[in-house]
Amino acid sequence: MLYRNFQTQAELDSQYNLSELSLNIPAYMNFYATNSAKVREKLRCHLSVPFGPTLVEHLDIFPAAQPQAPILIFIHGGYWMMSSSKDFSFVAQGPVAANVTVVLVNYALCPKVTIEEIVRQNRSAIAWIYHHAENFGADPNCIYVAGHSAGGHLTAMLMATDWENDYGLPDDIIKGGCAISGLFDLMPFPYTWLQPKIQLTWAEVLRNSPIRHIPEKAGSLLVTYGEQETSEFKRQSQDFLAVWKKKGLAGEYLPQPDKNHFTAINGFLDGNSPLCTAILRQIKLYDPTH
């Protein structure tokens, strides 16, 4: 066995290689890009704000209209090896309309850097946002994180960070997280088509699998995925949420019955969608009578 009951790379790739699922991926990417361009034109934004020393370490900030707004940080997916924050600007539309400031993190990609370095860059982004939030009219004491696919993995890693001892920041700096179609156990990936790009060592797998690093205390966790996803994507989320809750941490599952891996984040466009509603409720802004 390579991983669980999988005996061959082909079996694993059929679960994790999205290009094998007969989905029109270019159409989804075009949907993201088109709507992201519209949102950048429509909303006030500060683009490519540096948070680290390299050019790729930057943020796209979409401030809410009212001051001292909560912050929702979004981390994009792309299997740690593709896409950028600009591809996902559209996620700001629903939350900003509900007076939430949205910050998208851009980070370096594999194989130029390791997944471990990507984790570090995203942690650095959280620290920068905390220290500079008031400069863009947001509340540093009300930070939430959401991420899709590889971004779901990074969301979980951020929630497991020892902020107080490693960064000198409040240990509850992240009040809650939403992991969308996330990847929480990296063990299968050295056996897949991804390995030449992400070049994982086994030590990195162990250090960077969130399911192996459930924190003693953490903010609330929202886990969601499209019901049309592969059984392995579903299991990864289900297993992670089960272990999270077994530790006594607050966790909730949001079903998305008509969604696949790529449409599971489309709800960000509509503040009244089940996805946005759940996240806003988590941020304690949602008014069910509205």
Its pTM stands at 0.97
Place of tokens 């034109």: 41
Which residues constitute the domain of residue 213?
A: 9-282
Task: For residue range 98-108, list pLDDT tens digits in order.
Answer: 999 999 999 99
pLDDT of residue 287: 55
Residue 288 in any domain: the answer is no
Residue 1 belongs to some domain of the structure: no
- Residue closest to 271 by CA, chosen among 251, 256, 254, 290: 290
- In this structure, is residue 262 part of a structural domain? yes
In a domain, 31, yes or no: yes
pLDDT of residue 288: 55
CATH number of the CATH domain containing 14? 3.40.50.1820
Mean pLDDT, residues 283-288 taken together: 70
Residue 287, in any domain of the structure: no
Tokens encoding 263:
């449409």
As for how many domains the chain has, the answer is: 1
Which alpha helices (H) appear in 53-100, and where do they start and end? Answer: 93-97
Per-residue pLDDT at 286 exceeds 70? no
Query: Considering the domain boundaries, does residue 98 fall inside one?
Result: yes
pLDDT tens digit sequence for 127-169 = 999 999 999 999 999 999 999 999 999 999 999 999 999 999 9
Whether 2 is covered by a domain: the verdict is no
Q: Kindly state whether residue 205 falls inside one of the protein's structural domains.
A: yes
Q: How far apart are CA 256 and CA 268, in angstroms?
A: 13
